[in-house]
């Protein structure tokens, strides 16, 4: 018996996948009908079926002392020559200048 080609096998796969999708849709429809009938018969509620949903609200609070947003890049202190790549904890020399009200963009290297 000759071995089927890859194209033939792919066509068979596509045909089987189409059959499976049709069968799944039919079975899902029947399952939904059964579920609806049981829900109506026993007067079930979503809470009974799935439990209560816990609604949590995230509170947004503005932090007055939040650090200023700074652009990423390389920063250089012209006085000492210290450099910061813009990642990780902000170095003390840059924090001091921000707290003093200076514009960080002037330290971009």
Q: 93, 82 in Cβ contact below 8 A? A: yes
Residue 69's pLDDT is: 66
Confidence (pTM): 0.40
Q: Which whole-number Å values give the CA distances from 63 to 60, 66, 67, in the listed order?
A: 9, 5, 9
Indicate whether 65 pLDDT > 80. no
* Mean pLDDT of all residues belonging to the chain: 85
CA dihedral for 96, 98, 103, 109, sign (positive or negative):
positive
Express each pLDDT in 13-63 by its tens digit. Answer: 999 999 999 999 999 999 999 999 999 999 999 888 888 777 676 666 655
Higher pLDDT, 89 or 54: 89
Residue 86: which residues within 8 A CB-CB, separation 6 or more? Answer: 70, 71, 72, 73, 74, 75
Fold of 62-109: H-NS DNA Binding Protein (4.10.430)
Give the three-class secondary structure for 83: strand
Q: Where are the domains of the chain?
A: 6-50, 62-109
């Amino acid at each position: 018996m000759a071995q089927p080609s890859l194209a033939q096998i792919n066509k068979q796969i596509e045909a089987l996948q189409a059959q499976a999708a049709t069968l799944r849709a039919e079975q899902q429809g029947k399952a939904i009908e059964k579920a609806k009938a049981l829900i109506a018969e026993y007067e079930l509620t979503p809470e009974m079926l799935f439990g209560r949903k816990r609604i949590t609200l995230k509170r947004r609070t503005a932090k007055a002392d939040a650090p200023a947003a700074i652009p990423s890049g390389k920063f250089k202190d012209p006085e000492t020559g210290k450099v910061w790549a813009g990642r990780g904890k902000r170095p003390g020399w840059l924090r001091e200048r921000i707290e003093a009200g200076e514009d960080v963009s002037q330290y971009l290297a």
